[in-house]
Amino acid sequence: MKRAKRLWVIDPSIHHAEDECVEQILAGWTGERRIFRPSLSPGDGPGPGDGCDADGVVVLGSSASVHEPLEWLRELGAWLMPLLDGRRTLPVLGICFGHQLVAHLAGARIGVLRDDGGKDLGLRETVLEGGRLLPGRHDLRVVVSHRETVETLPDGYRVTARRPDVPIDGLEHDSLPVFTFQFHPEARREFVTRRGLDPAAVDDRVVGDSDRLLDAFRRRVASS
């Protein structure tokens, strides 16, 4: 008898747990699940001493910067490296901070999006094209909330999503099942309300576009 597939979600939030976002990542997931909150609950891994019996990993957003000298961030980076350099192969999805962290660990430059340090916040249009997760071209309406951005393409990756002012809105490893996005496919009404946006902006199109992407990743994990 085959064991149930295991999906791990890492929520590196600094101020409060993103329960709604985690719920969206795990929507419809019938296998085992495990949630880590390494910043809110110090010692709650995963860290370099932890094993990895997962079948898929999602790294969510955070108000932290990949450049900060934080112990939990150092440990998380060390834990992720075998999944990014091919020593261990399993699907990885990085979202916003997770996107930046994967790119940073792969050698990309991460910098501020705007000279004044301001945040790009709201609903935007992005073009997803040329990736394995959702083959073909997809014009998506997505939620964005970030101050930093991936400025250079890391070795071994290709760009899979682009929007005005953010030419690297999505990345995919050339051979490993590593997929990252600067936007938030897991964001729903609570997420945007907390950031001062009108929750009605998360309409049927936003939810549908986001669900397609998350469904594709869950299917990838289930079939791994």
Confidence of residue 163 (pLDDT cuts 50, 70, 90): very high
Burial (0-12, 13-18, 19+ Cβ within 10 Å), 43? exposed
How confident is the model at residue 121, as a pLDDT? 94
- Over residues 40-58, mean pLDDT: 82
Confidence of residue 51 (pLDDT cuts 50, 70, 90): low
Are residues 38 and 12 in contact, defined by beta-carbon separation less than 8 angstroms? Answer: yes
Burial (0-12, 13-18, 19+ Cβ within 10 Å), 52? middle
Question: Is the model's pLDDT at 48 over the cut of 70?
Answer: no
Catalytic pick from 99, 104, 173, 184? 184
Distance, CA of 52 to CA of 186 (rounded, Å): 24
Distance, CA of 56 to CA of 126 (rounded, Å): 25
Peptide bond into 46 cis (omega under 30): yes
Confidence of residue 123 (pLDDT cuts 50, 70, 90): very high
Question: Is the model's pLDDT at 1 over the cut of 70?
Answer: no
Domains and CATH numbers, the chain: 6-222 (3.40.50.880)
Q: 0.75 exceeded by the pTM?
A: yes
Q: 130: left (phi > 0), else alpha (psi -120 to 50), else beta?
A: left
Catalytic pick from 18, 148, 172, 186? 186
* Catalytic (active site) residue 21: no
Catalytic pick from 96, 99, 148, 173? 96
Please state, as a whole number, how many other Cβ atoms lie within 10 Å of the Cβ of residue 63. Answer: 15
- Over residues 58-75, mean pLDDT: 96
- Over residues 145-166, mean pLDDT: 96
**Taking the mean position of all CA atoms in its chain, how far away is CA 205?**
20
* Catalytic (active site) residue 186: yes
Confidence of residue 94 (pLDDT cuts 50, 70, 90): very high
Please enumerate in sequence order all residues whose Cβ is within 8 A of that of 35, keeping only pairs 6 or more positions apart, or say none: 8, 9, 10, 11, 22
Distance, CA of 48 to CA of 46 (rounded, Å): 7
Please enumerate in sequence order all residues whose Cβ is within 8 A of that of 85, keeping only pairs 6 or more positions apart, or say none: none
